């Protein structure tokens, strides 16, 4: 999300830009969506606190599902030369990954989702799911028992 979204206008009235960010969040964050981190792409990282207060006052009280775990500023100038648009020295993906790992709840959720996906894939494979046929095949009792054992082991690790 970038601060200057409205007509790409340089304005000292940041509330105008904050209102546009609020509008976009209202449209893209679904009520059934999961937690997220709002990364603000800006050359004014000092304004992120103002954005957070604006959203706390005007948006989050009526849209609790849309409140991010964190609002993180990333300075444009770390990744692109503002004058030329040429890539700069920063590693955007690595910096985002670093911010995610600082959020214990987000790290736990991502780890949990990865384990669930892995277990689900294993179960489907064991019971004979065929993607090419898009239907269930016959599962042997041994395959079902193996899937149950994998599920038990995953639950024990989660304790």
| Whole-model pTM over 0.85 | no
Whole-angstrom CA distances from 97 to 36, 94, 106 are 13, 5, 11
Inter-residue contact 29 to 65 (CB < 8 Å):
yes
**Average pLDDT of every residue of the chain:** 77
pLDDT in tens, 57-102: 999 999 988 998 888 898 888 888 888 888 888 888 888 888 878 8
Of residues 3 and 24, the one with the higher pLDDT is 24
pLDDT in tens, 124-145: 877 765 554 444 455 455 555 5
- Tokens 């920063």 sit at which residue? 90
């Amino acid at each position: 999300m970038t601060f200057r979204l409205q007509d790409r206008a340089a304005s000292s009235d940041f509330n105008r830009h904050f209102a546009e960010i609020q509008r976009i969040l209202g449209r893209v964050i679904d009520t059934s969506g999961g937690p997220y981190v709002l990364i603000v792409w800006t050359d004014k990282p000092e304004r992120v606190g103002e954005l957070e207060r604006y959203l706390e006052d005007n948006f989050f009280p009526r849209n609790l599902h849309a409140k991010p775990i964190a609002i993180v500023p990333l300075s444009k100038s770390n990744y692109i030369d503002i004058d030329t648009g040429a890539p700069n020295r920063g590693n955007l993906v690595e910096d985002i990954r670093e911010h995610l790992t600082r959020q214990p709840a987000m790290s736990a959720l991502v780890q949990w989702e990865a384990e669930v996906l892995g277990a689900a894939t294993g179960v489907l494979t064991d019971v004979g799911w065929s993607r090419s046929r898009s239907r269930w095949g016959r599962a042997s009792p041994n395959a079902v028992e193996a899937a149950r054992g994998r599920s038990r082991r995953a639950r024990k690790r989660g304790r």
